[in-house]
A = this chain, B = another copy of it.
Amino acid sequence: MKYSEMTREQLIAEYEAVKEKYEELQGMGLKLDMSRGKPNKEQLDLSMGMVDALSGSDLVGEEGIDCRNYGVLDGIIEAKRLLSAMIECPVDQIIIYGNSSLNVMYDTVARSMTHGVMGSTPWAKLDKVKFLCPVPGYDRHFAITEFFGIEMINVPMTAEGPDMDMVEELVSKDESIKGIWCVPKYSNPSGITYSDETVRRFAALKPAAKDFRIYWDNAYCIHHLYEDRQDHILEILHECEKAGNPDMVFKFCSTSKVTFPGSGIAAIAASKANLDFIKKQLTIQTIGHDKINQLRHVKFFGDFDGMLEHMKKHAAVIRPKFETVLDALDTELAPLGIAEWTRPNGGYFISLDTPKGCAKRVVSLCKDAGVVMTGAGATYPYGIDPNDSNIRIAPTFPSTEELKQACVVLTTCVKLAGLEKLLAETNV
């Protein structure tokens, strides 16, 4: 029975029952964590072949590059080939970086602050710089723009991606809007993949700022959960070219959630004009990235097909975890009509919307019962969810057993917070 259809007496009875259940859970001394999108041990074990992937190799690349020495600023050709297949761009439109695409994004914004974008005024010299932030979104994106004092404007996500009417209007009339953060596929946290229509409208944007760029963080491009139910997304670089906006997008990807987080390789893909500008910085910043690790990845996978096969193994490990969470939400919450959640085909998160004004309370209740959730508000710029309703669920790291327990806690807390709210509202 839906809570909204209950009488006050029924709500009170339900509240007492849920509260008792919650107190029982509190007594169990749980210590569970559904807060971060971290691979679990079983996933990490899948890549242990990385450790000896270069055993017996002379560490010389296919173009005769001694990967042990200085040189090759933008990556060895075999690594470019692998990651350009992953990111769906030509090999001459990619630069291979170090271990972290987040760091590449940080550098991209930092460089724009001090050196502008392809000849534009350095943003640090402007009175105001703004970014559009589809919400809910990725907290670490927002942390970068906040760190540089860039004003963030929320753009609501729909089932097709960001609200493009709003994006089009804002970028076309406000020259201080210099970028938009996007996780276009299996987005963080909602798991939504942008529709073809959305991608085409992105490519056709007419921004007032010449140095406006789309920050296209394709973090989950090959991170499917199912073999028979996969999202596909139009390739944005190519769409931008077709639309006469070849320089308008930076694409980012990494192998952080393919091999080992922190020990992967990352890349940026963009137009040649953008890459030429980026290389002017890169040549000052470093003598080159870790080519041995690039070679290690190539040897481990063989080719992109090998990488896709590897991703199927990841999916087999984490699919049951997603389903555990969805089952719990379906069973415990769906009949009550007090929450909504996404059913992603890939990525690392499920996005849960509690009743308005309840997210902080739910996270706090979870914490007091030993379950760490991502902080409420974390999926919004400045940590402020105007509805206080969104909670990001990260199912990958805990064991399935832990996850089951954590979901009992989570669903109990959503009920409790929802009942508290309903009872307060009806107590007039």
* A interface residues, Cβ below 8 angstroms from B: 36, 38-39, 41, 44, 47, 51-52, 54-55, 57, 59, 66-71, 98-100, 102-103, 106, 110, 113-115, 122, 124-125, 140, 143-144, 147-148, 256, 260-263, 281, 284-293
Can you name the residue of chain B whose Cβ is closest to the Cβ of A292? B263
The answer on a CB contact under 8 Å between B102 and A287 is: yes
Q: A36-B70, A38-B70, A52-B52 are in contact. List 11 more A-B contacts (CB 8 A).
A: A38-B69, A67-B263, A98-B290, A99-B290, A100-B287, A100-B288, A102-B286, A110-B114, A114-B114, A114-B124, A143-B284
The answer on a CB contact under 8 Å between A69 and B102 is: no
A124-B125, A284-B147 are contacts. A69–B260 as well, Cβ < 8 Å? yes
| Interchain nearest-CB distance for A260 vs B (Å) | 4
Interface centre among A100, A262, A290 (most CB of B within 10 A): A262
User: Which B residues are in CB contact (< 8 Å) with A293?
Assistant: 263, 290, 293
Bound CA–CA A263/B114 (angstroms): 28
User: Which B residues are in CB contact (< 8 Å) with A55?
Assistant: 51-52, 55
Bound CA–CA A264/B286 (angstroms): 13
A55-B51, A125-B124 are contacts. A289–B99 as well, Cβ < 8 Å? yes
A51-B55, A59-B51 are contacts. A68–B122 as well, Cβ < 8 Å? no
What 10 A-B pairs have minimum CB-CB distances, sorted nearest first? Answer: A124-B124, A263-B292, A44-B68, A70-B261, A68-B260, A147-B284, A106-B285, A103-B286, A100-B286, A263-B290
Bound CA–CA A140/B73 (angstroms): 14
Can you name the residue of chain B whose Cβ is closest to the Cβ of A58? B48
| Interchain nearest-CB distance for A334 vs B (Å) | 32
Bound CA–CA A379/B143 (angstroms): 39
The answer on a CB contact under 8 Å between A113 and B124 is: yes
A51-B55, A103-B285 are contacts. A263–B124 as well, Cβ < 8 Å? no
